[in-house]
Amino acid sequence: MRRDIFQAIADPTRRAIIALIAIQAMTPNAIAEHFETTRQAVSKHLKILTECELVKPEHQGREIYYQLEIDKMKEIDKWLTQFRQIWESRFGQLDELINN
């Protein structure tokens, strides 16, 4: 079963993980240090993010570093753009009403 990308980013911990590794690739242990949870819980979140192709594991020696998949993030941004345009249009209409 393929996981839905939007279900993956709906979880606040997974969004926080994405924000962390957007800055730099990190190991699961380094990621876990930023949360008050177990390393195993972080690994489950990383598994879901990997299944959705939002993050990619890269082996460097004995360590695994997780990095953000920019192309998948662009897909999310593309989907959100259509709504951003609607919101901006409505805000523009609201500005016109307020200023008249």
36-74: per-residue pLDDT in tens? 999 999 999 999 999 999 999 999 999 999 999 988 888
Number of neighbouring beta carbons within 10 Å of residue 59: 8
The pTM assigned to this predicted structure is: 0.78
CATH number at residue 42: 1.10.10.10
Q: Return the closest-CA partner of residue 54 out of 19, 87, 89.
A: 19
Domain range for 75 is 5-99
pLDDT digits (tens, 9 = 90+) for 5-38: 888 999 999 999 999 999 999 999 999 999 999 9
Q: What is the pLDDT of residue 1?
A: 55
Whole-number pLDDT of residue 78: 86
Total count of domains within the chain:
1
